[in-house]
């Protein structure tokens, strides 16, 4: 479905650009460009061919990792993407390293103190957090931790020369914005609660084992399968939602 979606989007964008008024060669070279220069530009980028043939040619090249050359700055598009992809993967991984352990620990504690004030407070807070769009959460975090308290920078500019410690510091707010705990926490809680009524867990209770040890040692290993599925889905969401957060924090 993901591949089909990308294919349909590429067709729609390619078609929409073709329907735009004006000529890309004239727009790029300027109104003062001669006819010979415009013709050479169109020949170089194969703009004279039929639309469907140009799309199929682009698609074939894209499948090999060649996305063509940017008409605005004459640089390979794959280079422009690669220069930014590293920061995207780093930010998504950073958020995941915070989200997954936090969600599992909160889920275990919520199951341990089921129906308590802690359980209801954590569930309510996490659900409220994912109810707000990322850009709203981002601006609230900037207001609190950059403007009011001044603990973290509001812009997360990093490059290849930035040290790991500095990179972690500068990207903490965007990583905090991306934290997705609710689904993983609730799945962890539900999976553990379902296992607590099983005979082998009750036997562990009868042997006098502490409740948190029962959950961590006996229940948690058998609750991994559904939790892993939710974690995988949330990691995919992280890599999709990271772009909007990157725009906010530049």
Q: With bands split at pLDDT 50, 70 and 90, how would you rate the model's confidence at 8?
A: very high
Q: Note whether 177 and 138 are within 8 A (CB).
A: yes
Final residue of a domain: which of 58, 75, 92?
A: 75
In this structure, are 201 and 148 located in the same domain?
A: yes
Mean pLDDT of 228-235: 80
Q: Which residues contact 143 (CB under 8 A, 6 or more apart)?
A: none
- Phi and psi angles of residue 46, each rounded to the nearest 5 degrees, phi first: 55, 50
In this structure, are 132 and 242 located in the same domain?
A: yes
In this structure, are 31 and 96 located in the same domain?
A: no
Q: State residue 12's pLDDT score.
A: 93
Final residue of a domain: which of 75, 90, 107?
A: 75
In this structure, are 10 and 117 located in the same domain?
A: no
**Nearest-angstrom CA–CA distance, 29 and 51:** 21
In this structure, are 70 and 103 located in the same domain?
A: no
Is residue 236 scored above 70 in pLDDT?
Answer: yes
Q: Which of helix, strand or coil describes residue 69?
A: strand
Q: With bands split at pLDDT 50, 70 and 90, how would you rate the model's confidence at 214?
A: confident
- Domains identified in the chain, total number: 2
Express as a percent the part of the chain with pLDDT over 90. Answer: 2
**0.85 exceeded by the pTM?**
no
Structural domain boundaries enclosing 33: 2-75
Mean pLDDT of 219-227: 75
Count other Cβ atoms within 10 Å, centred on residue 169.
Answer: 16
Express as a percent the part of the chain with pLDDT over 70. Answer: 98
Is residue 249 scored above 70 in pLDDT?
Answer: yes
Mean pLDDT of 145-164: 82
Is residue 194 scored above 80 in pLDDT?
Answer: no
Total residue count of the chain as it appears in this document: 250
In this structure, are 107 and 145 located in the same domain?
A: yes
Q: What is the CATH number of the domain that holds 120?
A: 1.10.3720.10
Q: State residue 205's pLDDT score.
A: 67
**Nearest-angstrom CA–CA distance, 103 and 97:** 10
In this structure, are 66 and 142 located in the same domain?
A: no
In this structure, are 123 and 196 located in the same domain?
A: yes
69-73, 164-168, 186-190 — which is least confidently predicted?
69-73
Could you tell me how many helices (H) and strands (E) the chain has, helices first? 13, 0
| Block residue for tokens 């379902």 | 194
- 75: phi > 0 → left, psi -120 to 50 → alpha, else beta; which? beta
Final residue of a domain: which of 75, 107, 138?
A: 75
Q: Helices 117-131 & 182-196, crossing angle to 10 degrees?
A: 150
Residue 76 has what DSSP assignment? B
Q: Which of helix, strand or coil describes residue 210?
A: coil
Q: State residue 229's pLDDT score.
A: 81
In this structure, are 135 and 190 located in the same domain?
A: yes
- pLDDT tens, 101-145? 888 888 888 887 888 888 888 888 888 877 888 788 888 888 888
Mean pLDDT of 55-70: 85
In this structure, are 121 and 62 located in the same domain?
A: no
What integer best gives the mean pLDDT of the chain? 80
Is residue 53 scored above 90 in pLDDT?
Answer: no
The alpha carbon dihedral of 131, 135, 136, 142 has a sign of positive
In this structure, are 96 and 50 located in the same domain?
A: no
In this structure, are 146 and 97 located in the same domain?
A: yes
- Listed residue (7, 162, 192, 191) closest to 86, CA to CA: 162
């Amino acid at each position: 479905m993901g591949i089909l979606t990308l294919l349909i989007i590429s067709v729609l964008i390619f078609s929409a650009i073709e329907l735009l008024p004006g000529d890309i060669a004239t727009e790029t070279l300027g109104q003062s460009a001669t006819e010979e220069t415009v013709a050479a530009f169109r020949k170089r980028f194969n703009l004279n061919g039929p639309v469907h043939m140009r799309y199929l040619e682009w698609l074939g090249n894209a499948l090999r990792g060649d996305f063509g050359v940017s008409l605005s700055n004459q640089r390979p598009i794959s280079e422009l993407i690669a220069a930014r992809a590293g920061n995207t993967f780093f930010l998504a991984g950073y958020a995941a390293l915070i989200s997954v352990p936090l969600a599992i620990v909160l889920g275990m504690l919520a199951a341990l103190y089921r129906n308590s004030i802690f359980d209801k407070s954590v569930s309510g807070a996490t659900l409220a957090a994912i109810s707000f769009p990322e850009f709203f959460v981002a601006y609230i975090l900037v207001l609190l931790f950059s403007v009011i308290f001044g603990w973290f920078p509001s812009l997360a500019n990093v490059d290849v020369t930035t040290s790991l410690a500095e990179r972690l510091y500068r990207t903490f707010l965007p990583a905090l914005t991306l934290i997705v705990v609710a689904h993983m926490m609730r799945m962890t809680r539900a999976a553990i609660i379902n296992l607590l009524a099983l005979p082998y867990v009750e036997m562990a209770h009868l042997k006098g084992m502490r409740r948190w040890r029962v959950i961590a040692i006996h229940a948690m290993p058998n609750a991994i399968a559904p939790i892993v599925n939710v974690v995988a889905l949330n990691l995919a969401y992280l890599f999709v939602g990271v772009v909007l957060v990157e725009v906010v924090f530049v």
